[in-house]
Amino acid sequence: MTATIALAGNPNSGKTTLFNALTGARQHVGNYPGVTVEKKQGSFVENGTRINIVDLPGTYSLTAYSLEEVVARDFLVKEKPAAVINIVDASNLERNLYLTLQFMELGVPLCVALNMVDVAESRGVKINIEKLGQMLDLPVLPTVARSGQGKKELIEAASHLIIGRKKPEPLLISYGEDIDNTLAEMVKRIEAGNFLTTTYPARWIALKYLENDQQILELGRETNAGLSQDLEKMAAWLADHFSKTLDTDPEAVIADHRYGYIKSILKQDVIKRNVRQDRLYLSDKIDRVVTNRFAGPLIMLAVIYGLYHFTFTYSEVPVGWVESLFGLLGGMAETHLPDGLFKSMIIAGVIDGVGGVLGFVPLIMFMFLGISLLEDSGYLARVAFMLDRVFRIFGLHGSSVMPFIVSGGIAGGCAVPGVMAARTLKSPKERLATLLTAPFMNCGAKLPVFALLVAAFFAEHEARIMLLITLTSWVGALLAAKLLRSTIIRGESTPFVMELPPYRFPTFRGLLIHTWERTWQYIKKAGTVILGISILLWAMMTFPGLPENQMAGFENQRQAILAASPATVVSEIESAGEETALSAEAEAVQDKLFAVDALESEDALRHSLAGRLGTSLEGISSLAGFDWRTNIALVGGFAAKEVVVSTLGTAYSLGEVDPEETGSLSERLAASPAWSPLTALSLIIFTIFYAPCFVAVVCIAREAGSWKWGVFSMVFNTTLAFGLAATVYQVGSMLNLMGG
Amino acid sequence: MKEINMREMKVNQSGIVSAVKVSGELGRRIRDMGLLPGTEIKIQGRAPLYDPVALRLMGFTLTLRNSEADYIDVKVED
């Protein structure tokens, strides 16, 4: 036998901790169908019954205003779990019971886990659990989720509900004469028409009509347009009546009565407080310092910098392991596979692709570990609180700061974990705008491109230019967010109304589970797509190959060089391994051969699909000062931004250039007549803003829940980047700045 | 006792909510968190840029933007 239990409750009530305590590491993270809300499931066996636990999103209420709430109530109504455990924060009983009441009105089989009874007691709050259970007519079990205390009794209580299989009667709260009468009238009509009653309790449907709940209204109109219209009229009449006589609306009166109902329960000796309610707790004392006008921002800067340092510095070692492992694999393929297309695909497509996917794993793990630590401890809410005033100007939210920083707000980040960090943002519009603009930040892969161009053209002002680049990307990202929020993601800002949870020590186990689940999700879901695109990009830069006569031409050149050299030198070169030191004569011949190879690579690149694309775009791209070589490099940059450097190297027949050592390439650019400081500036601007690398695009699409947004980010960013670069180049040329 | 707008309240000042004059999503969110006529509140602090505001009610801390607090009237001691 299997049964499903849903776990529901307020955010910060210890729901996730309880879920971890119940399921251990046997959990699975996915999404609810069609939306980006996370769905966590786990299971255990109790008395021969396999119990499947679903962790519903944490909510304060059950309205239709947020995805989380709709998902939670849809699950309860449609999946009909055999039992619902409502976790309630004992130190914050009044507000937590507001949600409990709504579950009771929905008529779901409920038991209450009264969590953090230890914290409540230490705060001088004593709860008469038996009495509370009586008043609510529900099983109420005290728990301490952190230590697992009360877990066994809780499962037993839930098992009773499962075995009982008796659907409880929905709770009927009196909402005052006016509302009660209207509700009764509506219920009659609803029951007579069998209107949605197979899914929802009749009075609950009527209440939702009074609350103007868009989801139920739409469902009602689809089911029975006539009846729905009648109900809407009744609701409108009541709303009108309230606004005329009491200057209020039914929603307000309903909320009033719900809290009134809770207060009437708590008054009956359920709760005893030994201290004043507004007493300052340790948490408030910490806040006095941490959100202080002067100390607050300084501490925040230090914490943000610390997170950044933690993510990118400490992950360097494991990133190095991954890189050397794949370097080793590449080397093995290099020596053991026969030359040809297959080998090239395995190395450049598969090994580099898989290496690319896994190379991000340590970064993602460290980022999630750091962010979870800040989130679980309660500090992240303080960051949102302190920065909201600034970010709101641009249509964002205080929590947007973390994705921006991780993406490279401090130069050198990475948009892949950055985009994922936007998960902490609960406001949908602000979140989407953050997802789309965070990749403008200067990630570590863009830095070699900047370093190359700065070394070639602005060597004297290096520090100043780098600072300018960072400022440009921040200003650009914030203004672009404002643009998006006033056009395609237009709309009022989501209410900020947010709880500042008390500071808590995160549980180590919770942090590990959280981090691992999310990392695994990235490997599994994003990994396959990324591998596919990696092979596709390899093919674009390889096919079609050079025609045979051209290849033969290069081969002839090589043969001619060898023929012109003394026989001893030829045999020395042929027998030499990669590491062998050559004599000066042999070295000279070798260099000539490499020069031919490099010319061949350049021609092959130009001949490939990517090369043709680059050449055909020259007409437009020249507006921003880019020739076909730059274009190809930028196409390659879609794989990863540092590829711009190595591809430029190939295009300038220098062979593959190591992004870490660009001396020869920057000399070449500085000397080239096709380049000027203005061209470099234009390319820097383009690099800041153009399409994110495809790994980031895949993540944006996943986080936004639709490929539409992945495609949008490529088109929008590239258009914006080109517009800016072309403007700078054209205006610069006109003013004849910088010798352009 | 006089009635003032929540935005005008000072840090550490307490009062009793007298009216919440907004409907729709914002109104719903404010009420769901227990900010209703009759609820005792105390201003706990303000963000460094003076906005949002943090207040204490029913034993927990809630933050609101000033533009959201504008809809809430509070009775305070003179």
User: What pLDDT, on a 0 to 100 scale, did the predictor assign at position A716?
Assistant: 97
User: What pLDDT, on a 0 to 100 scale, did the predictor assign at position A150?
Assistant: 95
Provide the CB-side half-sphere exposure for A590 (13 A, CA). Answer: 17
Buried b / exposed e along A288-320 (16+ C-beta atoms within 10 A): eebbeeeebbebbeebbeebbeebbeebeeebe
A278 has a pLDDT exceeding 70: no
Buried b / exposed e along A403-439 (16+ C-beta atoms within 10 A): bbbbbbbbbbbbbbbbbbbbbbbbbbbbbbbbbbbbb
pLDDT level of residue A579 (50, 70, 90 thresholds) = low
Task: List the single best residue of A13, A93, A289, A389 to mutate versus B (max B Cβ within 10 A).
Answer: A389
User: What pLDDT, on a 0 to 100 scale, did the predictor assign at position A738?
Assistant: 53
3-state helix vs strand vs coil in chain A, percent to 5: 65, 10, 25
pLDDT, average across residues A228-238: 97
To which residue do tokens 């925040």 refer?
Answer: A300
Closest chain B residue by Cα to residue A296: B48
Of A92, A251, A498, the CB nearest to B28: A251
Angstrom distances, CA of residue A624 to CA of A358, A634, A689, A721, B50? 35, 13, 14, 10, 44
Helix (H, G, I), strand (E, B) or coil at A570: helix
Q: Where are the domains of chain A?
A: 2-164, 177-273, 545-602
Cβ pair A213, A200 in contact under 8 A: no
User: What pLDDT, on a 0 to 100 scale, did the predictor assign at position A279?
Assistant: 64
- How far apart (Å, rounded) are the C-alpha atoms in residues A243 and A254? 14
A375 has a pLDDT exceeding 70: yes
| DSSP assignments along A192-220, one per residue | HTT-STTTS-HHHHHHHHHTT-HHHHHHH
pLDDT, average across residues A326-354: 85
pLDDT level of residue A712 (50, 70, 90 thresholds) = very high
- ∠ CA A185-A76-A6 to the nearest 5 degrees? 145
Task: List the single best residue of B17, B63, B66 to mutate versus A (max A Cβ within 10 A).
Answer: B63
- How far apart (Å, rounded) are the C-alpha atoms in residues A697 and B20? 43
Instruction: Select A2-164's CATH number: 3.40.50.300, 2.60.40.10, 3.30.420.40, 3.40.50.2300.
Output: 3.40.50.300
Per-residue pLDDT tens over the stretch A173-214: 999 999 999 999 999 999 999 999 999 999 999 999 999 999
Backbone angles phi and psi of A661, in degrees to 5: -130, 95
Cβ pair B44, B59 in contact under 8 A: no
Helix (H, G, I), strand (E, B) or coil at A41: strand
User: What pLDDT, on a 0 to 100 scale, did the predictor assign at position A280?
Assistant: 67
User: What pLDDT, on a 0 to 100 scale, did the predictor assign at position A315?
Assistant: 85
- How far apart (Å, rounded) are the C-alpha atoms in residues A246 and A238? 11
Residues of B in contact with A498 (CB under 8 A): 62-63
Per-residue pLDDT tens over the stretch A136-172: 999 999 999 999 999 999 999 999 999 886 778 999 9
pLDDT level of residue A656 (50, 70, 90 thresholds) = low
Q: Where are the domains of chain B?
A: 2-76
- ∠ CA A208-A210-A215 to the nearest 5 degrees? 35
B61 touching A (Cβ < 8 Å): yes
3-state helix vs strand vs coil in chain B, percent to 5: 20, 40, 35
Mean of the per-residue pLDDT values of chain A: 90
Cβ pair B64, B20 in contact under 8 A: no
User: What pLDDT, on a 0 to 100 scale, did the predictor assign at position A140?
Assistant: 97
pLDDT level of residue A640 (50, 70, 90 thresholds) = confident
Of B51, B52, B56, the CB nearest to A278: B56
pLDDT level of residue A642 (50, 70, 90 thresholds) = confident
A530 has a pLDDT exceeding 80: no
| DSSP assignments along A375-419, one per residue | HHHTHHHHHHHHHHHHHHTTT--GGGHHHHIIIIISTTB-HHHHH
Instruction: Select B2-76's CATH number: 2.30.30.90, 3.20.20.10, 2.60.120.260, 3.50.50.60.
Output: 2.30.30.90
User: What pLDDT, on a 0 to 100 scale, did the predictor assign at position A740?
Assistant: 41
- How far apart (Å, rounded) are the C-alpha atoms in residues A473 and A481? 12
- The region of weakest confidence among A17-26, A349-358, A373-382 is A349-358
Number of other CB atoms surrounding residue A275 within 10 Å: 10
User: What pLDDT, on a 0 to 100 scale, did the predictor assign at position A625?
Assistant: 94
pLDDT, average across residues A546-561: 89
Do residue A497 and residue B51 have CB atoms under 8 angstroms apart?
A: no
Q: What is the CATH code for A177-273?
A: 1.10.287.1770
Per-residue pLDDT tens over the stretch A65-123: 988 999 999 999 999 999 999 999 999 999 999 999 999 999 999 999 999 999 999 88
Do residue B62 and residue A287 have CB atoms under 8 angstroms apart?
A: no
Q: How far is A511 from chain B (nearest CA, A)?
A: 25
Do residue A496 and residue B49 have CB atoms under 8 angstroms apart?
A: no
A573 has a pLDDT exceeding 50: yes
A102 touching B (Cβ < 8 Å): no
